Amino acid sequence: MAVRSCTGFYRQEVNRTAWEVPERYRDLKQVGTGAYGTVCSAWDRRTGTQVAIKKLHRPFQSKLFAKRAYRELRLLKHMKHENLIDLFLLYLVMPFMGTDLGKLMKLERLTENRVQFLVYQMLKGLKVTYSSLTDLKPGNLAINPDCELKILDFGLARQADAEMTGYVVTRWYRAPEVILNWMHYTQTVDIWSAGCIMAEMLLGKPLFKGKDHLDQLREIMKITGTPTADFVVKLQSQDAKNYIRSLPKVPKKDLHSIFSKASSNAVFVLEKMLLLDPEQRVSASEALDLPFFSEYRDNEEDTVALPYDQTVDNTDLPLDQWKRHTFTEILTFRPPTDSRETPL
C-alpha cells in the first residue's frame, strides 16, 4: 500500500517495512535482501527508467554498522565511473540491472566472448577504485540484459571485519593473504578475486571451493603450488611461516590443462591474476593491457583512481560522531544532472 508522506516524499510498505522515498520513485518491489540492506526496484518518473533503491538495515545500531554506512556513502560519492554504482539521493538509488553474475552463471554457461566483456568491465571498475574491496564475488557484480556490469556494495566489506572472512561463499574468492591475515593488503587482493570469478565463468563452477580457511588454502596450493622461500619470508606471522614450511612441496599446475577449452589469451590472464604472491600479480591497468582485452581497449582512455582521504574512515569514533559524519555527507551531496530528466 502506498500513501503520500511529507512534502515531496512518498511512503510505501514493502514486505511489512516502510519505505519513504522521493515522489519521483514509484511502484517499489523487493528484489533482494542481505545482512546489511534490502533492495527494491522502482520506476523513476522523471527519467522514465527503472532503478534499484537500497535501504540499509539499522545503519546506526552499532559503531560497526554506522562506520559501514558512512564508508559506503563516501565511496559512492567519490567514485564516478560507468562500472561503479552511483549515489543519487538520501536512499542509495542506482540503475536497475536485473540480475547478478552469480545468478546468471547458475542459469547458463557463458561463452568466452561474454567472459571477455564482463571481466573487461570488472577490471575497468577496479582500475578506478582507490584501494582493495576485499569482498568481490559474483553476487556483488550486477548484470543487465545488455551484459553491462556494475560493482556493488562498496564499504560493506572491510578487511578487518572478521565475520566476513568466515562467510563461506566469500572465502572462495578471497585472496590467500586475506584469508589467513598474512600481510598488508594491496589492491591485488581484488585481482585475485577477479581471477577466481573469471575462472568460474570459464569452468562453470568455482575454482577453489574450500570447506574452511585451511582447506581453502590447500585447494589454492593444489593449483598455485606451495610458496617459494622468497614468499615465505614476506609473511608477517611466524605461525604462518612455520605452517607453510611444514607443508609437502606441491608443484604449480599448468592452467592450460584445467582450462583446456579456453583460448591461450584467456588462460594467460588467469596466470597473471592467480599468483600466490600478491606482489607478482598484475594490477587492473596491467591486466587491461593484456591481449585478451585488445578488442575492447580504448587507447585514449586513461581513467585512474582519484585521490581519496581515508583519515576519517580509519578512525575509531563513537556512534554519535559516525551519525554526524554520515549526515554531513548526505547534506553535501549534489546529484549528477541527467539530460533525460523532465519536469513532473
What is the set of domains in the chain, with CATH numbers? Answer: 1-95 (3.30.200.20), 99-305 (1.10.510.10)
Q: Kindly report the three-state secondary structure assignment for every residue of 12-38.
A: EEECCEEEEEECCEEEEEEEEECCCEE
pLDDT of residue 280: 92
Question: Which H/E stretch holds residue 44?
Answer: strand 37-44
Closest CA to 327 of 335, 319, 336: 319
| Three-point CA angle 130, 168, 287, nearest 5° | 35
pLDDT of residue 159: 35
pLDDT of residue 297: 72
Judged on CB neighbours under 10 Å (0-12, 13-18, 19+), 190 is buried
Q: Which residues contact 160 (CB under 8 A, 6 or more apart)?
A: none
Give yes or no for a contact between 273 and 192, defined as CB atoms under 8 angstroms apart: yes
161 is known as an active-site residue: no
For the entire predicted model, the pTM comes to 0.68
Cell of 302: 586513461
Tell me the average confidence (pLDDT) per consecutive run of 10 residues in the chain, 344 residues long. 60 81 86 73 86 74 71 62 44 67 90 94 80 72 84 48 44 85 77 96 94 89 91 85 88 95 97 94 94 78 53 69 70 56 36
pLDDT of residue 149: 87
The neighbour count for residue 334, using CB atoms within 10 Å, is 6
Grouping H, G, I as helix, E, B as strand and the rest as coil, residue 248 is coil
Question: Which H/E stretch holds residue 141?
Answer: strand 141-143
pLDDT of residue 87: 41
Q: Which residue among the candidates 100, 135, 153, 190 is catalytic per the annotation?
A: 135
| Three-point CA angle 111, 117, 122, nearest 5° | 120
The dihedral sign for the CA sequence 303, 104, 142, 43 = positive
pLDDT of residue 339: 43
pLDDT of residue 133: 56
**55 annotated ligand-binding residue:** yes
The neighbour count for residue 49, using CB atoms within 10 Å, is 13
